[in-house]
Amino acid sequence: MSKIKNNDEFILKVNDIFYSIQGESSFAGSPCFFVRLAGCNIRCPYCDTKEALTDTNAKSMHIGDIMTEIIKCGENVKLVEITGGEPLIQKGVYELMKRFLNLKYTVLVETNGTLSLKSIPDKVVKIMDIKCPSSGYANYNNFENLNYINKNDELKFIIGNTADYEFAKNFINVNRKIIKTEKIIFGAVDVAENQFSPHILAEKILSDRLNVKIGLQLHKFLDLK
């Protein structure tokens, strides 16, 4: 008798599926489908997707149903971002990436960088955080992941204060020979009481002649998800 295949890997806990403007990478400004998976392995103070940190309100969905939901929204846009929470905590995420690649989508994966990127298919664009000190999770950075970042991938530092800025600048200097991408983003923190404004961040980037982009979460300026 043939063994029944356990297909748990084809079911994902989904917090949300939506269509919006990509706001936080070198794809910022492009219409994009988003699959927001539920659950995260850490708790950053600046998190703006708290509703996705656990799977309490998540929907369990077969990968085929996730894809159908996106395809039926329109076939002109072939850009999809898999995000979270932390998408890599669910083993089925790799199958989801492969299926979108097979349909010729450009696939972005946004990850907090604490888990290994080793199993992500080469063609997927990885947007990986390097956690700065003010996040409280700088010790969770998985430095081996720099080996899996190629020239199409992106590194993102969320800069909450001067110490974060210096950490990020130093990180780039120290790892200059290992980092294979020039797509590096310094993201401003979106909290009202933030003393380190996007303006200050921009001035520092300019005065230090850093070859990095400033990230401003364009979708929030547009009042979109």
Could you tell me the smallest distance in angstroms from the CB atom of residue 157 to ligand SF4? Answer: 13
Helix (H, G, I), strand (E, B) or coil at 54: coil
- Contact between 11 and ligand SF4 (CB under 6 A)? no
- Contact between 145 and ligand SF4 (CB under 6 A)? no
- Contact between 42 and ligand SF4 (CB under 6 A)? yes
Pairing of strands 31-37, 11-21: antiparallel
Could you tell me the smallest distance in angstroms from the CB atom of residue 96 to ligand SF4? Answer: 18
| Total binding residues toward ligand SF4, as defined by CB under 6 A | 11
Contacting residue, 47, 138, 210, 218, with ligand SF4 by CB under 6 A = 47
**Residue 126 corresponds to which tokens in the numbers above?**
């990885």
Contacting residue, 40, 70, 89, 93, with ligand SF4 by CB under 6 A = 40
Binding mask 66-95 for ligand SF4 (x = CB under 6 A): ------------------xxx---------
Contact of 86 with 40, CB cutoff 8 Å? yes
Could you tell me the smallest distance in angstroms from the CB atom of residue 173 to ligand SF4? Answer: 25
Q: What do you get for the CA distance between the two ends of the chain, in Å?
A: 49
Which residues pair with residue 130 across a beta bridge? 157
Contact of 195 with 206, CB cutoff 8 Å? no
Q: Please identify which residue in the block is written with the tokens 């905590």.
A: 89
